[in-house]
Structure 1
Amino acid sequence: MAETELDRAEKRYAQAKARLLALKNREATKARKLDTRRKIILGGALVDLAERDSNAAAMIERLIRNLPREQDRKAFEGWDAKQPAKAEDPTAPPSAAPGSALPASLQKRTQHLASSKSQPS
């Protein structure tokens, strides 16, 4: 049976609606990923600051104590905001010069990028 103009229009409408939904989903995913990235970067910067500033460390400890969800507080059990997360790797390249404006986490990423560029692919 031949497809009528109405059938073709309904088919185009359904396809356009599916494309619109897919586009909205991609945009929402992109926004969530950006939000997560911002939170990770900001959290890392706060942890770096807490290692150098006792007021920042105290603020982070208060924030952790006041987290409403028990499972979120448990994630920080045994963690000390004033201490670095882990000891330096003795085989890692030396840190940036003292007084560098970059936080430690960014220094490590920069060193990683520099070392990966110098290695042949």
Structure 2
Amino acid sequence: MAETELERAEKRYAQAKARLQALKNREATRQRKLDTRRKVILGGALMDLAERDSNAAAMLDRLIRNLSREQDRKAFTEWETPSPVPTDEDAS
């Protein structure tokens, strides 16, 4: 039996809808990966700054102590907050 024009249109519609959903899923995945990358970069930058700046070290310590999820706090149980390394400028 031959496909009617309506059936062909419904089939094209379903295919277009599936392509649109696939595009949305890819974009959402891309955004999540970008968000994760930003967090990793900022976290590394904060850790690096904490090694040079006592205010940043205190902020990092405070952030860790105030993590709300137990599983997140556990990730830091054996980790020590960086403390600023004294420089020649600090001796003056």
Q: Which residue of 1 aligns with 2:49?
A: 49
- Count of aligned pairs: 83
- Matched AA of 1:82: P
Q: Which residue of 2 aligns with 1:21?
A: 21
Structure with bigger helix share is: 2
**Runs of 5+ in structure 2 lacking a partner?**
84-92
Distance in structure 2 (CA, Å) of the matches to 1:5 and 1:13:
12
Distance in structure 2 (CA, Å) of the matches to 1:51 and 1:37:
22
Indicate the structure whose relative CO is greater, using CA pairs within 8 Å and at least 6 residues apart: 2
Distance in structure 2 (CA, Å) of the matches to 1:31 and 1:80:
32
**Runs of 5+ in structure 1 lacking a partner?**
84-121
Give me the CA root mean square deviation: 0.9
Report SS of the residue matched to 1:14.
Answer: helix
Q: How much does 1:77 deviate?
A: 0.8
- Matched AA of 1:35: D
Q: Mapping of 1:1-121 within 5 angstroms?
A: 1-82=1-82
Distance in structure 1 (CA, Å) of the matches to 2:53 and 2:65:
19
Q: Which residue of 2 aligns with 1:118?
A: none
Distance in structure 1 (CA, Å) of the matches to 2:78 and 2:17:
51
Q: 4+ residue stretches of structure 1 with deviation over 2 A?
A: none
Q: Which structure has the bigger radius of gyration? A: 2
Deviations 1:77-113 (A, max 9, x none): 1211216xxxxxxxxxxxxxxxxxxxxxxxxxxxxxx
